[in-house]
Amino acid sequence: MDRIPILKMGQFLLVTIQVDMHDQLAITLQDDLTNRIAKERSRGVLLDISALDVVDSFIGRMIANISSMARVLDAQTVVVGMQPAVAITLVELGLPLEGVHTALNVEKGMVLLRRQLAAGAS
């Protein structure tokens, strides 16, 4: 069965979606990710969706859900690399993902995560 790999980088988890998302894959990812956050006691999740060309309302909600679940487990989520078409689709679907942090690329996402972690620690 397909799985999306979750990479550990220090206190953070890095998830790069490089295949077309289908619903089962999204549910598996939610499962795996929450488990890993709990197991590794991660403080941040970087979700890279730069290779995602197509989203539907389900995937959109999945992204919002992952962010909320991570927050409950005390980890910040940053979604990075969203394609223009995907951003427009989500807005038109009425899913502006309020409360989800976003960044333009992985590098900026990392900076944002570190800054948030520092702000949380102080």
Partner 1 sequence: MKASNRLAGVIKSHEKDILADWIKEQLASTTLRGDLLKESELREQSRAFLAAVQAAVQKGSEDIAGPAWADVKQLLAELSRARALAGFSPSETATFVLSLKQPLFSRMTAELKSNAAELGEELWSITLLLDKLGLQTIELYLKSRESVIDRQQTELLELSTPVVELWDDIVALPLVGTLDSNRTQIVMETLLQKIVQTGASIAIIDITGVPTVDTLVAQHLLKTVAATRLMGADCIISGIRPQIAQTIVHLGVNLGEVTTKASLADAFQVALKRTGATIGKAKPEAAESV
For partner 1, the binding residues in 50-79 under the rule CB under 8 A are 79
Judged by CB under 8 A, does residue 80 bind partner 1?
A: yes
How does DSSP assign 86-115, residue by residue?
HHHHHHHTT---TT-EEESSHHHHHHHHHH
Binds partner 1 by CB under 8 A, chosen from 108, 114, 116, 117: 108
Nearer to partner 1 by Cβ, of 13 and 82: the residue is 82
Q: Is the dihedral of CA 65, 68, 72, 74 positive or negative?
A: positive
Judged by CB under 8 A, does residue 114 bind partner 1?
A: no
Judged by CB under 8 A, does residue 104 bind partner 1?
A: yes
Rounded distance, CA 105 to CA 97, Å?
Answer: 18
Least distance between partner 1 and beta carbon 55 (Å): 10
Judged by CB under 8 A, does residue 87 bind partner 1?
A: yes
Q: Are 87 and 63 in contact (CB under 8 A)?
A: no
Judged by CB under 8 A, does residue 34 bind partner 1?
A: no
Rounded distance, CA 109 to CA 112, Å?
Answer: 5
Q: Are 64 and 102 in contact (CB under 8 A)?
A: no
Positions touching partner 1 (CB under 8 A) are 79-84, 86-88, 90-92, 96-97, 102-105, 108-109
